[in-house]
Structure 1
Amino acid sequence: MELILRTATAADLDDLANIACAAFPADPQWDYRFPRRKEFPDDTYRCTREGYKSMLEEDGVAINVITTDVHGAQQPIALAVWELMFEETSNFLDIANCDDRRDADFKRMKAFDDACFKAKKTFFDDVYGDQQIHLRILATHPDWQRHGAGTKHCNWGLDLAYDHRIPVTVLSSPLGGQLYTYLKFETLGFFKVQVEGEEEKLSIGAMVKHYKDDDGELEKRF
């Protein structure tokens, strides 16, 4: 199966939203933040689409898609959102909050955003500053997982990081951590997402990929 990576455009917004809405329910943080998504799927889709529209307009953010041939046409099947920290970037953002959405737990959304912002600063920004490339989002549609799309997306970022001689950083769920471990990312630590007074919580890892082989020379990718 041929996988083609290209830059996403506004014409891809429906596909970006479809990929995200299909892929992310496998990640515990999706149900944690959007516990009523099955009751209000239209809200989930609408706000997810608005989030990607905002990210397409952010300075210093690159969104890529991977396409493959589906019934004779190239269909996007995977996406990646990168913060190019060596360029001028906006603040950390995730899927748009959409004040009128009915699928979300807003306290949990705020706890998630606050914890991720703090962790990114502590583990990455205070250490690497703007000398890093940060993988914000990576998703493959479930129908096309385990065909190499996630690795191909990561290698795009690893190649760019190699060119600039800077690390790649990511805040990873346990599910995503399997891929990043395979790609030789190092786990720096974990942080908790929890609303005060609640028992339910998330554990998210902070991971980094440097470029040194056994001889101390830079290596390009996995």
Structure 2
Amino acid sequence: MKPRRAEPSDIEAITKVHIRTMPLDPQWNYRFPYRNEHPEDHYKYTKMLLEYFLDPSYDDWLVMVVEDSLEPGGPTEIVSFGVWDVSYVNKRRYGPGYKTQDRKCHFQGPCAAKRGGGSRRDANPEHFKAFSQGQKKAYQKYFAPIGPEQIHLQILATLPEYQRRGHASSLCRWAMELVCQEGLKDMSVMASPMGYELYKSLGWDVVGTFWIQVPGEEEKLVLRAMMYKPPKLEGSSDSEEEVQVANGRCAIV
């Protein structure tokens, strides 16, 4: 199935995919160890975040979905989705002074606290904070120096019964084509063990490894900063005009 852009009406289906898929990833158990004891909180705040990503007024973010059916000719459902930071569009439009939209306002800090986020019971607060800070530091180290001409893969999830059918790959390839067509420098991701093999198979490079760990604890997460760079035509230079021509002709096969 070809990826399509998600709509706000897809929220329930996307929330279902997210909640059913993410426990397969070690970072989910690390951040949300109490989700089974408090499923109502887990559903509420997961949906709150995804509503933000789907809100058309927050256009620094783009959600793409893939639909499929287990039975040939049967009814389809959303089985896989990806969320990308595409703030390069607004940075191009409004210039270097553009201030990017902050998703944390919707599930962390004062804004989320007004909706009960400060008292959510499904998460380990220290692990949650360490994860957020660790990813921010890694992004600043490995990706921020590249500048605004890039996209970042924030979430990628596929329902367990639909995995290994190429749906996540199709979403990644769609985004890789976007990088080429838009003349961007790269697409980045903070890869967990769950996603690492997929990104590696698609030709992404590991640019760094980092740890998420609360001081004094033995438990930790190991994540990889990975990057996809579009191919350049033989003989092309780094001038803006020539790179755009080259990327306009590149194709992901």
Partner of 1:87 in structure 2?
89
Inter-partner Cα distance in structure 1 for 2:3 and 2:106: 22
Q: How far apart are 1:62 and its partner, in Å?
A: 0.3
TM score, norm. by length of structure 2: 0.80
Inter-partner Cα distance in structure 2 for 1:164 and 1:147: 28
**Could you tell me the percent identity over the aligned residues?**
32
Which deviations, in whole Å up to 9, do the C-alpha atoms of 1:100-139 show, x marking residues without a partner? 221111111111111111111211112x211101111100
Partner of 2:65 in structure 1?
65
AA of the residue aligned to 2:6: A
Partner of 1:96 in structure 2?
107
TM score, norm. by length of structure 1: 0.91
Q: How far apart are 1:44 and its partner, in Å?
A: 1.1
Partner of 1:25 in structure 2?
23
Partner of 1:142 in structure 2?
160
Instruction: Determine which structure has more spread, i.e. the larger CA radius of gyration.
Output: 2
Which deviations, in whole Å up to 9, do the C-alpha atoms of 1:78-111 show, x marking residues without a partner? 0100111312342465983422221111111111
The range that moved more, 155-164 or 49-58, is 49-58
Structure 2: any 5+ residue segments left out of the alignment? 91-99, 109-116, 237-245
Partner of 2:111 in structure 1?
none
Which deviations, in whole Å up to 9, do the C-alpha atoms of 1:157-191 show, x marking residues without a partner? 11110012221111110110100000000000111
Contact 1:186 1:209 in 2 (8 A): yes
More strand by share: 1
SS of aligned partner of 1:73: coil
Contact 1:48 1:95 in 2 (8 A): no
Is the alpha carbon distance of 1:94 and 1:153 closer, same or farther for their aligned partners in structure 2, counting shifts above 3 Å?
A: farther
Q: 1:190 aligns with which of 201, 209, 214?
A: 209
AA of the residue aligned to 1:13: I
Report the number of matched residues. Answer: 219
Inter-partner Cα distance in structure 2 for 1:93 and 1:124: 19
SS of aligned partner of 2:207: strand
AA of the residue aligned to 1:103: D
Runs of at least 4 residues of structure 1 off by over 6 A? none
AA of the residue aligned to 1:69: S
Which deviations, in whole Å up to 9, do the C-alpha atoms of 1:3-50 show, x marking residues without a partner? 142111111111111101111111100000011112112211111111
More helix by share: 2
Partner of 1:55 in structure 2?
53
AA of the residue aligned to 1:148: G
Structure 1: any 5+ residue segments left out of the alignment? none
